[in-house]
Amino acid sequence: MSKLVITRDSNYRNYPLLDYDGPGRGFYTAILDRLIDRLEYQLAAHGKVLMIRLVAKYPDEVDAEKSNQCFQYFMEEYRRKLMIHGFSPQYVWVREQHTSKNPHYHFVLFLNANRIQYFNRLREVRWLWVKAICKFNPGAQATISSHLIHKDQSVYHSQQINHGLIVTRNNRALQEEAIRFCSYIAKINTKEATPFNCNCFHASQLPENRKV
């Protein structure tokens, strides 16, 4: 964790960042880079992108493993499902933990908005997360709550973002706003509890000729 570069500026790579002045002020630039690279790649490829920010939690009755193996398995299963739907997904996720016994995960999806105009697919993603938890935690019951993933609440121009934000190639102001509200997941605070030799973030792979 200590090797990650931190910025406390209000802008990064010509994008504004959240005005966050709480505990652990600052943002990890490596996470910001993943967010910006995937937004710019998807805009170049599709012209418009649907961005969704979600949170995944473990049920209280499960003691999560110290690695990210369960969550990364879930993300790849979900990515494949989104590929089948034709949404050309990219993603960035981060692991956070504060006072709870288990970590939780924030993740941002970047989808081809020519194929999906709004996000209303919580049942599918929740089912896949429960399936992953049961696979990596044999003692977990298949009847555990399915309401372990929810949308991060965000506001744009006084409007609640309930089904994602569509960002277009020719609207720079909207691109900046998208990175601003997603920069929340790059904050330093709550990531320092990540176990040794366990990543606090990960992202989908871009083509080799693009940034990763």
| The pair of three-digit structure tokens given for residue 78, joined into one six-digit string | 């979900």
Provide φ and ψ at 78, rounded to 5°. -70, -40
Q: Which residues contact 101 (CB under 8 A, 6 or more apart)?
A: 63, 64
Q: Which helix (H) or strand (E) holds 133?
A: helix 122-136
Q: 109 near 91, Cβ under 8 Å?
A: yes
The pTM of the full predicted model, rounded to 2 decimals, is 0.91
Question: How do 48-57 and 149-151 pair as beta strands?
Answer: antiparallel
Q: What is the pLDDT along the chain (212 residues), one digit of tens a residue?
A: 557 899 999 999 999 999 877 777 899 999 999 999 999 999 999 999 999 999 999 998 888 888 999 999 999 999 999 999 999 999 999 999 887 889 999 999 999 999 999 888 889 999 999 999 999 988 777 668 878 999 876 655 545 566 788 999 999 999 999 999 899 999 998 887 788 888 999 999 998 765 54
Distance, in Å, from the CA atom of 104 to the CA atom of 115, rounded to the nearest integer, reads 29
Name which of 209, 189, 161 is nearest 45 in CA terms.
209
Contact 92, 201 (CB under 8 A): yes
Please return the burial class of 51, using the count of CB atoms within 10 Å of its CB with bins 0-12, 13-18 and 19+. Answer: buried
Q: What is the pLDDT of residue 13?
A: 98
pLDDT (0 to 100) of residue 53:
92
